[in-house]
Structure 1
């Protein structure tokens, strides 16, 4: 069993009669936009878990419609799935760019924890107690920094909506985001 495009089948299999005899071609057309949306809904949980995002229904509809309209070198549902995956990846990467102070604090906490464990191993409990207090204080600062970070709009769990999908498509095609969304809005009205 194998899957390929009609062009690749003609290019590779039709030329080799012995190989062609071993396969029974079954032509499968690309799904409709509405079927693609249903496929995306079925995959939503996996992509939400993988990228740690929440994917809106509007993002799925936008991915199917925009991919069908603007990406011509691939087929549905692959091109819509790629849009959702890329959008999720971009949000995840954006979220990973933490301030240097945060990274430094995480490294400090790890160092304090190692030192505390060594002190316990050597039965130096007074030193371990001091390090445990430092660790607790550092963890509280880290939590405060994360709360401040979330309040500033850099959430640790982003929402993937139609705007993010449009931005990815604009990046791929070179068509400005505002033009994509304006055209879609005009068609919906």
Structure 2
């Protein structure tokens, strides 16, 4: 008989297992599949969008698709497109679906408060003195108030949930009708094809348009759309970079960057201006994305604010002073200690542990690198750091 076979493997595994067996390799036509660029990824996501909308029962906006491709390419460095972008959209959509299926946070808080008040009332009821009776009356009025709030929210939630689920069901029926149409086309059933194409599908599309029109009204408790904000939230959880820093809405903050840094650092006009300009160039897209945003050597006596400026900058850029890799260079005074920065070479103790600097940057690629007391380090350390300052890259031992 004949065998038709398509195989998929990585380049490393191909070299390791297939290439060694020349007879097996000759049986296959080799096709190299490269990683798609951002534009191709956006096209792929647009093609998959409908399937994910039906699966999760939520709407996925075009801005979410573009954000998934751009943010995943920029911030998630250890995976490839389109896989990482598809995962972002999938996770963001599933989060919204879970929010729809479970009670909203505001309702959950009210329900807990209600239970707490009822327990308190039962405990106070056991006392017979006048103060306890007064407390029971106060608790009763508080319970009534919270109960009314909860009932109002529950009514809104049920109405919004019914609206969202109605549209999801229509989408699912429409997807099924499309599959039935394909099956009828393959079978050559013209009657069934015309019934679906000119009867069932237009009717479902009309119902979907009406359902989506009612959905466009502002919802109070439920989100039913995946937007670029939801995508940024997922990237933020994966990488630890604050959401607001990814969105383009921080222009105002960048314009007043100097004044924000001056709130913590007194004076040092030249240093703050140089740092602020470098950050603004990077955010405007004028800097080389493969190089560091800026490399600065702060010179000055003790206590003038060199380290404090670094802390203020980390806080401004990443909302946390901890987003800073601080290396005390006085620990690297001997020549052999250079290996600690990039890890021991093969065959030496600690080879698999990685380097002090390379591991810290690999775990948090978006952080500020501070080399403290740099003049105390051995001159060979600077040879290692040349490629960091020039290209922003460092090869682990």
TM range (shorter): 0.5 to 0.7
Q: 1:23 aligns with which of 28, 31, 41?
A: 28
Match of 1:166 in 2: 232
Q: Measure, in 2, the Cα distance between the counterparts of 1:148 and 1:159.
A: 13
Match of 1:103 in 2: none
Q: Measure, in 2, the Cα distance between the counterparts of 1:162 and 1:11.
A: 41
Per the TM alignment, residue 148 of structure 1 is displaced from its structure 2 partner at its CA by: 6.9
Q: Measure, in 2, the Cα distance between the counterparts of 1:11 and 1:73.
A: 22
Task: Show CA shifts across 1:2-50 (max 9, x none).
Answer: 2222233234333444543443321111111111101111111111111
Match of 1:179 in 2: 245
The answer to whether 1:61 aligns with 2:66 is yes
Structure 2 alignment gaps of length 5 or more: 1-5, 109-153, 164-217, 252-282, 286-397
The answer to whether 1:146 aligns with 2:161 is no
TM-score when normalising by structure 2: 0.33
Q: Measure, in 2, the Cα distance between the counterparts of 1:63 and 1:144.
A: 31
8 Å contact kept, 2:68–2:231: yes
Greater C-alpha radius of gyration: 2
Change (3 A) 1:28 1:167: same
TM-score when normalising by structure 1: 0.66
Which structure dedicates a bigger proportion of its chain to helix? 1
Q: Measure, in 2, the Cα distance between the counterparts of 1:184 and 1:68.
A: 20
Number of residue pairs matched by the alignment: 149
Task: Show CA shifts across 1:26-77 (max 9, x none).
Answer: 1111111111101111111111111111111100000001111112222111
Structure 1 alignment gaps of length 5 or more: 101-141
